[in-house]
Structure 1
Amino acid sequence: MRFAVLGPLEVATHDGRAVRVPELKVRALLACLLAHRGRVVPAERLIDNLWGPRPPARPLGALRARVSQLRRALDEAEPGARELVVSRPPGYLVDGDTDARRFQEAVERSRAMTGPGERAALLAEALSWWRGPAFADFAGEPLVHAAAARLEELRLSALEDYADARLALGQDASQVGELAELAGQHPARERFHALLMRALYRSGRQSEALEVYRALRERLRDELGLDPGPEIVALHQAILEQRPGLGRPPGTPAPLPARLPEPLTDLVGRDDALADVVALAGAARLVTLTGAGGVGKSRLALEAARRLAGSYPDGAYLVELSAVPAGSPSEAAAAVAAALGLHADGPADPGERVAAAVGGRRALLVLDNCEHVVEPVAKLTELLLRAGPGPRVIATSREPLGIAGEVVRQVPPLDPGAAVRLFAARAAEAAPGFALTPGDAEAAELICHRLDGIPLALELAAARVRSLGVRALAERLDDRFRLLSAGRRAGPAHQRTLRATIDWSWELLTEPERVVLRRLAVQAGGCTLEAAERVCAVPMPIPGGPPGDADLAAEAQSVARSGAQSVAQSGAQSGAQPAAQPAARPDIEPGEVVDLLSRLVDRSLVVRAGDRYRLPESVAAYALERLREAGEHERVLRWYATYYTQLAECAEAYRSGPARHRWLRRLDAETANLGGALEAALSLGDTRLAGRLTGSLGWYRAGDARAGHVVHSAGSAGRSAGRSAGSPA
């Protein structure tokens, strides 16, 4: 039996089959025992951890019952595994293998090695075992917290050792981005800053290395009242003096300007898109690739740039912008200057310096991950292209840059066949010997469909095949954000897990955009613009619809107004100025939805097909979580159920006459939403609304065989609801 704690708690048999440990307290018990690494945990401490100040009537008996459940779950998965949970006075222990123990042993072995190559290889393998924070789902438990903190400290130390070994191998410029990100995440950790200073200095960027030290010194003094330690002070002095010992190790090649990185994997399913981008970039001066997070914009842009590089005598360069702070014009320009190897001489403004240096060159720039700095990048790109006819730019962003001459191409998800090929290829890389069997093909197609054909999500899912298998993976996709939390070790932080990718897009939205996105998530089969306006905003009766729902709209508007008034009153009572209370803004109005929806389409979070709008499944799952967090779920479900009830009642009013066929087509298009609205009404306990919906669809179900499945699954419940509400069923 194998226990994994370097991330969410997981249990697997020796042959890699996942083991389900039922009930939260049983899993918490296992986490507490694993955190103590084979040492006995007293029963009293376990009881206190599991139940806190309100233990059950017979706490020892309750603890024994949880231990018994744990043993049974392990034994059912692997006979004999119950013996791993040992009862030993004064409590219990788990005698099992964990990835944390293997990680610690690997780190200790690496420190005994003398060769940087062997040390780097071992540390890279050990760090790849991390799937997230240690004991991610139980790190707050008192008996687990200390172990989680100890493991996190060991991970950071291993990352420092790994970077140090790579510096010894001469890998300087390639590490600058990663070390800058780590130093930013851990602003008081001096060793990350020292490693970054060394990498910058060896890459010919002495002034930037000195700036790292200056910023660290000021931060330590301002926030902690401390000075930097003697080791980093000595490194700073050595850089000032340009001591020979800071140079690259003997035998390593001299640093070159960072250009296009070599791909680590093949590009799958993008032949037509690649040919299109290559043709466009050969003719247009600015091509922007847009699309959803994780869809493969960066990979496609880099492959196109590699194909075109021979046509640019002054080189093709990658400028990675993900680490640039949002809305920072100077730092965006500085990132471009650094990628091009430009020095600080020339115009003081970084943008002007880039334009002056590149304007006369025939060079190709790939500006990657522009969405959070889209305005400064747009200004810089326009300045760059106006400086001369030679430069060409391929940008990747979740929305266009919006400047003259820009050619925009949206990168779509992979088609079903290409998605399955990519999933199978990445699964074979993660699990040697893996081959997609005919028996697993249907499950693989389901995985690719439910993950919207997004390459990042498919690659994260493929990494799970080794421990779960294809079918079990498909069965667990309802919990996709936990399942796909085994992030990449390299690359920008927002591209390492599925949740981080969507988090990145969410954080870039305005509050009104977030409101519309999370409310759209209740639409079961996509929706029209009218439906979005009625469900995402304060509801009003549908034009021409039957009376009886004006009270709901009036009630919703009253709730919004009273909520705003209460916020303003509470602010006045506390002495705050009303103008400083953004929450006092009324709810979204229907007229605002069209503009907000257009912005979400531009940001690749909503897909428009014809006259309908839909959310990709992963975005919808994420938005539903946000809807519940905002406390709006039941409220929006009621608006949703009411709108489609009104729609069905309008259709019923036109069930005969020349408009009949138009309304039949409309109801056909809303099949999923009509069923979803009935489920919503029943889940809210609104039997009257459910009865109105089923009653108004009676003619449609009776007269058209295509519609039999609309509400059939909830038919008996709907008919019962209709009778109790006094409406025809």
Structure 2
Amino acid sequence: MGSAALASPRESPAATREGSTRAVSSALTCVLCSVEIPCTRRSRLKRIYCSNACRQKAYRQRARLTSDERPEPIRVPNAARWQALDSFIGRDEELATLNRYFRQHRLITLFGPAGAGKTRAATEFATSAAQMFPDGVHLIELSKITDPDLVAQAVALTVRAADRLDNTVSDSLPQVLHDKNALLILDNCEHLVDTCSELVDTLLHHCPQIRILTTSRETLRLPGEKVFSIGPLAVEDAMQLFTDRALNAAPALTLHDGNREFVKSICDRLDRLPLAIELGARLVRLFPLDYIVDRLNNRFDLLTSGARSADAKHHSLYAAIDWSYSLLNDNEQVLLRRLSVLPGGFDVELATAVSADLELPVIELISSLESKSLLATAPDASGLPRFRQWESVRAYAHERLIEFGELPDAVEHLVSALTAIAAPLTECFTPSRKLVDRLLAEQDNLQKAVDHLRGRNDGREPLLAGALARCRTSQGVVAKVHELLEASLRVKNAPPPHRVVALNEATWSAAWQGNRKRALELGQQSAEVAKQVNLLLRCQALTGLAYAYQELEDYQNALIRFAECLDLIRLVGDPQSIALCGHNLAWSSILADDLDTGEETLAEILPLYESIPELSKRASLWHTAGALYLRRGDYSNARRYFTTGLTKADPTSVQTPYLIEGSGLVGLRTGRVEHGLRLLGAAERLRRANDAMCDVNWAKYVEAELAAFRSRMPSFDVDHHLDQGRRLSDAHTVVDLAVRQRPPSEAPQITLGSITEREQQVATLVAHGKTNVEIARQLRISERTVESHLDHVRTKLSLRSRAHVAAWVTQQLSAAR
């Protein structure tokens, strides 16, 4: 019946394997006195003691036993089949946790999806933990047993108790095992879960020293059962497993940094589950890595060559999942199929929507599918439960969905549900954080819906495309966004609100991609269509049009549209909308060099911004305020606003690089040159690391300031200090550098009149790049006198270096002009 027992390592030494000496964060106990002892895998393969004293005492006890008293070792002829022939990679933490759990629990279920490596983890644990169980570790393999009545018989045969049983096996087995201190491993219980539950419950009640480890895709649901989930491997472990098995299949294969991303992509798309990874690794003998990546959409045709010694259900990925599917009831199967149209995961609401034409107990079925390892769970941004199918399970279920002719109904329900979710975009000036989070959670499902609607002339496509575009651009991703929006705008007779949403997103997208004329055309269309819809959506359109003018550097037309938008928003009376619209007007005023209008607008909206919960939006306003005062030359207020933004906003926010750059420019203007340049370099690094866009006008301003400084200080090593900043990759460290570096708060108020005439002469020559020797010769004073004057200048102005003196003088001369 495919049953076997694992003998103690004393009788059947474990096969050596890669990494056998790696340390594991667990502890064992002394065989004699039970004191806990830290261990490595090597130490777990033999009897261990806490000291030589315990070892000698145990030896004397064994020596006193007569041959009749000595326990007979369990000898199982086919135990060697469970000694692995390949290396065991990963799961160190899981094995250590199992070791710890068995000190507290008598029943543990290794629970996980098909191909997660539950059996291998169980046998590895059995090999390493055999010394904990004097009466042996016994593996009962159940995958080939279909008759529930044979489960107890399989256990009896494995523990070699069949010849000592009276009456029925299930009644007599507890008597035989009553005084045994052993571990039973029931492998693959999912198809016999009721029978296994009954047997395990009986054994645990009547055999006080027995411990049981089960592996299953479904839990036993018994009192005292400790469920231990076995899920995906860690990224590095998954890649190591793939590499190891790939090199076994194709020793000539060369793996390097250039194809590392292909390996990672393969592992990620296979959910980092060991079975799928091992099947995929065998393909490298025939196909290059990039070919495998491209063909994983047809994974069931590729991943079919499992090991001959494996169970039939592990010969291919399809067989492994098909086994789980066959154990489901009809309602579970139909919901599993319907959920396959949701590549981005789902909550209960969306799961109910895609099965709206069926009367299903959705919550109960989701719970059941999760308990059978066919769904994974993860909370959404609000902390509510959200679920997803394993990628390979979803691919299998989608094939069955098509086979049953259910795809059209399922996708139509998905489109209707997402249209309802995105509808608030047509009724607001700017979406709430809650709506944005919901759309972000559904963005992969939105992509699925938009792909389905493409070319069908469906009026819902512009709305869903606009919602998807907003998700992508909010994450700094603009690739292919404009193409999907332009395609949605070819839909005829779409509802005006849907069309305005798509037109507005297309306006922004075209402007960000540098297609300014197209952005203006789209903005004008949006503003025209928006006259037919509500006031808030009309303000959306005016904002997009104003931005298009701004990108064309037509600042007067931009100011007119932003001002019109602010007037309309005031009619609505919503403080947050007024604040956001006013912010746009203030920024445009800065660009138009109308600083008075900008300052007046900021004075109105700064108090209103306190009611906006999203810190990123408030950080953007603090940057605008800092930029305005920077342009005015009011460096104290500029730094105050930049610092406020950095201390209150999330360091990983897309606004952080703007605030850091603002602080860096203040440094350049106030003599803290090295500090300012490091901040500019760090901001560049952070923005590049996040693949985020930078506002074009702000980028031009920063570049102009940097170029002006280079021209004033041609001998100063600007690039060296920029590179120092570029080496700072942690956002928190950079923010701390920008905020905690004490600014020379008095520097802006100090003028050339604050130092003596001779000190002015020396400082000015320093700014001209002269050396102390050259200055002494030109002024006809000693070199030591020059050094003394420079010390006085640095002390009076709180400047730290010669470069700071030169930068300060340059700034003062520029201000005087």
Name the aligned partner's letter for residue 614 of structure 1. R
User: Residue 153 of structure 1 corresponds to which residue in structure 2?
Assistant: none
1:605 aligns with 2:374: yes
Name the aligned partner's letter for residue 650 of structure 1. P
1:716 aligns with 2:486: yes
Change (3 A) 1:536 1:393: same
In 1, the alpha carbon distance for the partners of 2:317 and 2:423 equals 40
8 A Cα contact 2:164 2:176, kept in partner = no
Change (3 A) 1:447 1:309: same
Name the aligned partner's letter for residue 305 of structure 2. A
User: Residue 439 of structure 2 corresponds to which residue in structure 1?
Assistant: 667
1:459 aligns with 2:275: no
1:474 aligns with 2:293: yes
1:653 aligns with 2:653: no
With 337-346 and 395-404 compared, the bigger mean Cα shift is at: 337-346
8 A Cα contact 1:519 1:535, kept in partner = yes
Q: Give the counterpart of 2:223 among 404, 412, 421.
A: 404
8 A Cα contact 1:259 1:317, kept in partner = no
CA drift of 1:711 comes to 5.4
CA drift of 1:703 comes to 9.6
Q: Give the counterpart of 1:629 among 392, 400, 403.
A: 403
1:303 aligns with 2:124: yes
User: Where does 1:423-502 land on structure 2 (aligned, <5 Å)?
Assistant: 423-502=242-321
Change (3 A) 1:347 1:435: farther
Change (3 A) 1:408 1:604: same
Spell out, residue by residue over 1:489-521, the C-alpha distance to the aligned partner (whole angstroms, 9 max, x if none): 112211111000000110011111111111111
Q: Give the counterpart of 1:313 among 134, 140, 144.
A: 134
User: Residue 76 of structure 2 corresponds to which residue in structure 1?
Assistant: 256
Change (3 A) 1:718 1:268: same
User: Where does 1:47-58 land on structure 2 (aligned, <5 Å)?
Assistant: none
CA drift of 1:273 comes to 0.9
Change (3 A) 1:320 1:667: same
User: Residue 322 of structure 1 corresponds to which residue in structure 2?
Assistant: 143
In 1, the alpha carbon distance for the partners of 2:307 and 2:425 equals 51
In 1, the alpha carbon distance for the partners of 2:238 and 2:190 equals 25
User: Residue 341 of structure 1 corresponds to which residue in structure 2?
Assistant: 160
Spell out, residue by residue over 1:100-128, the C-alpha distance to the aligned partner (whole angstroms, 9 max, x if none): xxxxxxxxxxxxxxxxxxxxxxxxxxxxx
Matched residue of 1:647: which SS? helix
Matched residue of 2:138: which SS? strand
8 A Cα contact 1:638 1:680, kept in partner = no
User: Where does 1:525-674 land on structure 2 (aligned, <5 Å)?
Assistant: 525-538=344-357, 587-589=358-360, 592-610=361-379, 611-655=385-429, 660-674=432-446
In 2, the alpha carbon distance for the partners of 1:173 and 1:388 equals 21
In 2, the alpha carbon distance for the partners of 1:702 and 1:467 equals 37
CA drift of 1:272 comes to 0.8
Change (3 A) 1:304 1:655: farther
8 A Cα contact 2:111 2:216, kept in partner = yes
Spell out, residue by residue over 1:344-364, the C-alpha distance to the aligned partner (whole angstroms, 9 max, x if none): 553322222222211211111
User: Where does 1:94-173 land on structure 2 (aligned, <5 Å)?
Assistant: none
Change (3 A) 1:320 1:705: closer
Spell out, residue by residue over 1:673-729, the C-alpha distance to the aligned partner (whole angstroms, 9 max, x if none): 22221112226x25223245346779x579957585695442122111155666524
Spell out, residue by residue over 1:247-288, the C-alpha distance to the aligned partner (whole angstroms, 9 max, x if none): xxxxxxx97365572122222111111100111123311110
Name the aligned partner's letter for residue 300 of structure 1. A
CA drift of 1:655 comes to 4.9
Name the aligned partner's letter for residue 507 of structure 1. S
8 A Cα contact 2:137 2:184, kept in partner = yes
Gapped runs of 5+ residues in structure 1? 1-171, 176-253, 539-586
In 1, the alpha carbon distance for the partners of 2:121 and 2:91 equals 8
User: Where does 1:208-247 land on structure 2 (aligned, <5 Å)?
Assistant: none
Change (3 A) 1:344 1:263: same
In 2, the alpha carbon distance for the partners of 1:399 and 1:329 equals 16
Matched residue of 1:485: which SS? coil
Equivalent residues, number = 424
In 2, the alpha carbon distance for the partners of 1:616 and 1:362 equals 38
Name the aligned partner's letter for residue 138 of structure 2. Y
In 1, the alpha carbon distance for the partners of 2:429 and 2:441 equals 16
User: Residue 240 of structure 2 corresponds to which residue in structure 1?
Assistant: 421
Change (3 A) 1:711 1:669: farther
User: Residue 602 of structure 2 corresponds to which residue in structure 1?
Assistant: none
Spell out, residue by residue over 1:606-638, the C-alpha distance to the aligned partner (whole angstroms, 9 max, x if none): 111012211121111111101001101111111
In 1, the alpha carbon distance for the partners of 2:460 and 2:180 equals 68
Change (3 A) 1:675 1:630: same
Q: Give the counterpart of 2:103 among 282, 296, 313.
A: 282
In 2, the alpha carbon distance for the partners of 1:321 and 1:702 equals 48
Matched residue of 1:293: which SS? coil
Matched residue of 2:460: which SS? helix
User: Residue 693 of structure 1 corresponds to which residue in structure 2?
Assistant: 464
Change (3 A) 1:364 1:705: closer
Matched residue of 1:298: which SS? helix
Matched residue of 2:103: which SS? helix
User: Residue 268 of structure 1 corresponds to which residue in structure 2?
Assistant: 89
In 2, the alpha carbon distance for the partners of 1:647 and 1:409 equals 36
In 2, the alpha carbon distance for the partners of 1:677 and 1:669 equals 14
Change (3 A) 1:434 1:702: closer
1:378 aligns with 2:211: no
Change (3 A) 1:723 1:426: same
Matched residue of 1:361: which SS? coil
In 1, the alpha carbon distance for the partners of 2:436 and 2:224 equals 45
Change (3 A) 1:475 1:509: same
Change (3 A) 1:173 1:297: closer
8 A Cα contact 1:524 1:672, kept in partner = yes
8 A Cα contact 1:674 1:711, kept in partner = no
TM-score of the two chains, using structure 1 as the length reference: 0.55
Matched residue of 1:396: which SS? strand
In 2, the alpha carbon distance for the partners of 1:709 and 1:649 equals 25
8 A Cα contact 1:382 1:403, kept in partner = yes
CA drift of 1:473 comes to 1.8
Change (3 A) 1:438 1:286: same
In 2, the alpha carbon distance for the partners of 1:614 and 1:467 equals 32
Name the aligned partner's letter for residue 529 of structure 1. V
Name the aligned partner's letter for residue 338 of structure 2. R
CA drift of 1:640 comes to 0.7
In 2, the alpha carbon distance for the partners of 1:262 and 1:702 equals 50
In 2, the alpha carbon distance for the partners of 1:431 and 1:703 equals 43
Change (3 A) 1:703 1:654: farther
Larger Rg over CA atoms: 2
User: Where does 1:13-92 land on structure 2 (aligned, <5 Å)?
Assistant: none
Matched residue of 2:102: which SS? helix
Name the aligned partner's letter for residue 496 of structure 1. H
In 2, the alpha carbon distance for the partners of 1:695 and 1:400 equals 43
8 A Cα contact 1:257 1:339, kept in partner = no
User: Residue 626 of structure 2 corresponds to which residue in structure 1?
Assistant: none
In 2, the alpha carbon distance for the partners of 1:309 and 1:690 equals 61
TM-score of the two chains, using structure 2 as the length reference: 0.49
User: Residue 513 of structure 1 corresponds to which residue in structure 2?
Assistant: 332
Percent identical = 35
In 1, the alpha carbon distance for the partners of 2:472 and 2:212 equals 59
Change (3 A) 1:713 1:350: farther
CA drift of 1:536 comes to 2.7
